Homo-oligomer: A and B are copies of this chain.
Amino acid sequence: MSIVEAVDPRSGRVAGSYPAARVEDVDAALAAAVEAAASPAMRDDARRAAALRAAAGGLRARGGDVVAVAGGETGLPEARLRGELERTAVQLELLADHVAAGEHHDAIVDRADPDWRPLPRPDLRRRRVPIGPVAVFGASNFPLAFSTGGGDTGAALAAGCPAIVKGHPSHPGTGTLVAEVLAAAVEEAGLPAGAFAHLLAAELDVAEALVDHPATAAVAFTGSFRAGTALIARANARPTPIPVFAEMGSLNPVVVTHAALAARGDAIAEALAGAVGTFGGQLCTKPGLVFAPAGSTLAADLAAALGARREVLLNANVHRGYGAGVEALAAAEGVERLTPAAASGGDGGANGDGAAGGDAVRDAGFAVAPAVFRTRASALAATPALGEECFGPAVVVLEYEAGDDLHAALGALGGQLAAALYAEPAEHPALAPLVERLTELAGRVIFDGVPTGVSVTLAMHHGGPWPATSAPAHTSVGATAVDRFLRPVVYQDAPDALLPPALQDANPLNLLRRVDGERTREPVVR
């Protein structure tokens, strides 16, 4: 039997081994998922909400175990993992509340109208239905919030779609524990067992079979651009193409004005250094580019704050990728490295990953040093390395002159998850065009704060134009993450008895519906 080995990134040593799923398991999981999707229990909003709440409670109840195992597999500190576990539970509960309130139905009733133009209108009633089983590919950097029991799994279940998780091989023990919690929650709430499955795999065959399976209706993915685009190509090549909701990373540019630096440069440098270095800079919202006025000390301040740190990266792949990214930046024309070269790379340590790069420092496990670079903002358009995400604790400070066209520099960037602006109130009236530019660029625009930290709320949008995501109209965080897994169906002149409860005259679910254009919970009178 094939196994997946957990590696403790702090030591590079094997921390556990877990049985791997086989391609046949994909067929079994999808067969169970299809059965589950068709069951009345799965269409019961209250039951699905109960399952999500039970999962949140289960995560909290087993929090100690989960955090301990996750720490050994990711190298992330206990406090961070405790926070991430609570955030994961909150996300599941937010989705439960959203579904219990019936928001996901988006119920619309247009009553028959003999005076409608150009022809009389029939009775039309629309609500949304689940699209079917969702294949979930979690990320290594959020072993809880964006993995087995994370937002994608929660959103799929909230929508009424079975979630088939391809368990991430970077934290197999964590995934296995969380999968137990999810399976127990599904059972406790009376959902069919096929509503959730966890297929742990390190090889590509299971992932490919999952995307190819005819019953898979959508893919939710968080990870690298390379892996995301490979999944998208595969999903598009199916006889029946399916959507891939891929979040593929971002540079999350931060613009700092001269006045903001003058007023509170130390606080800004401290916040940015924290956002770049904390948790090894392994956040999809880590600021990778900072636009600062030429002549400011921000780049030097960041180098000073970060230069002496050591951060443990998640796994050999991330470690190797960071080394390569740092090398590429260091080699780029006109780019100056402000942190010591010898400490900025890393190598596989106990894993003996000799390909880690010339800057490798001998260290146990996957520890690396942060890297701070500096160049001119005008170099951005002509320097491809500056436009690539360097996943890990690296940042490039792009210095701009008073006369430089910041808009033009920003125009060289692809789509971003987030962009931030530090400015003083007196400058605000002049900054509307820059805010407009950041709006075009990103899914979230932050004022006087760093892009890291994604609050789980109704308004949150964690998404953005390509290549940050493959589906800029959608978010993977917050209550509206459920929208990805629903499609509308309209019933024309349906007898009340054959309408789904969401659309019946009496409004038995007590939904806030749009009836003839007005929002109301009142029954419909034909």
A-side residues, CB < 8 A to B, are 38, 83, 86-87, 90, 108-110, 116-119, 121-122, 124-126, 129, 131, 232, 236, 240-241, 414, 425, 428-429, 431-432, 435-436, 439-440, 442-449, 453, 455, 457-461, 463, 465-467, 470, 472-473, 475, 480, 483, 486-495, 497-498, 512, 514, 517, 519
Question: Which residues of the partner chain B approach A116 to less than 8 Å between Cβ atoms?
Answer: 455, 457
Contact status A109-B489, CB under 8 Å: no
Across-interface contacts of A449 in B (CB, < 8 A): 122, 492-493
> What 9 A-B pairs come out closest when comparing CB atoms?
A86-B118, A110-B459, A461-B490, A124-B459, A108-B459, A446-B492, A461-B488, A126-B459, A472-B487
CA distance A466 to B235 in the complex (A): 13
13 contacts between A and B (CB under 8 A): A90-B117, A122-B455, A126-B460, A126-B461, A236-B236, A428-B497, A435-B494, A439-B489, A445-B492, A447-B494, A458-B517, A461-B490, A473-B483
Complex-state Cα separation, A442 to B126, whole angstroms: 12
- Please name all residues of chain B whose beta carbon is closer than 8 Å to the beta carbon of A491 when the two chains form the complex: 444-445, 447
A429 touching B497, Cβ below 8 Å:
yes
Closest CB in chain B relative to A182 CB, distance in Å: 20
With contacts A414-B240, A463-B488 known, is A124 near B457, CB below 8 A? yes
- Contact status A444-B492, CB under 8 Å: yes
B498 touches A432 (CB 8 A): yes
Complex partner residue of A117 from B86, B425, B428, CB under 8 angstroms:
B86
Contact residue among B38, B440, B460, B498 (Cβ-Cβ distance under 8 Å from A490): B460
Known A121-B455, A124-B457, A512-B519; further 19 A-B contacts with Cβ < 8 A: A83-B119, A87-B118, A110-B459, A124-B460, A126-B461, A131-B472, A240-B466, A241-B466, A241-B470, A428-B497, A429-B497, A431-B498, A435-B498, A439-B489, A444-B492, A445-B492, A446-B493, A447-B494, A447-B498
User: Smallest CB-CB separation from A130: which chain B residue?
Assistant: B440
CA distance A443 to B488 in the complex (A): 7
With a cutoff of 8 Å between Cβ atoms, the chain B residues found around residue A472 in the complex are: 131, 487
Give the distance in Å from the alpha carbon of A488 to the alpha carbon of B471 in the complex: 11
Q: Which residues of B contact A124 (CB under 8 A)?
A: 455, 457, 459-460
Residues in B neighbouring A460, C-beta threshold 8 A:
110, 124, 126, 490
Known contacts A86-B118, A487-B472, A488-B473; is-contact A493 B455 (Cβ 8 Å): no
Contacts of A435 in B (CB 8 A): 494, 498
CB-CB nearest in chain B for A116: B455
Question: Are A495 and B122 closer than 8 Å at their CB atoms?
Answer: no
Are A488 and B475 in touch, CB under 8 angstroms? yes
Q: Do residues B442 and A489 form an inter-chain contact, with CB atoms below 8 A?
A: yes
Closest to A112 in B: B455
Nearest-Cβ distance from residue A424 to partner chain B, whole angstroms: 10
| 8 Å CB contact of A439 from B129, B236, B455 | B129
Q: Which residues of B contact A457 (CB under 8 A)?
A: 110, 116, 121, 124
Given A425-B495, A494-B445, A498-B431, also A473-B486 (CB < 8 A)? yes
Question: For the complex, what is the distance from the CA of A416 to the CA of B30, rounded to whole Å?
Answer: 23
- Report Cα–Cα, A453/B119, bound state, in Å: 9
Q: How far is the CB of A232 from chain B (nearest CB, A)?
A: 8
Nearest Cβ in chain B — how far from A164, in angstroms? 19
In the complex the two chains form, is B125's CB within 8 Å of A83's CB? no
* A287–chain B nearest beta-carbon distance, Å: 14
CA distance A344 to B443 in the complex (A): 55
User: What's the Cα separation between A236 and B466 when bound, in Å?
Assistant: 12
Selected from B110, B414, B487, B494, the residue in CB contact (under 8 A) with A473 is B487
Chain B residues with CB under 8 Å of A117's CB are: 86-87, 90
Residue of B nearest to A483 (CB): B473
**Nearest-CB distance from A497 to chain B (Å)?**
5
Let me know if A458 and B240 touch, CB within 8 A.
no
Distance of A486 Cα from B459 Cα, bound (Å): 16
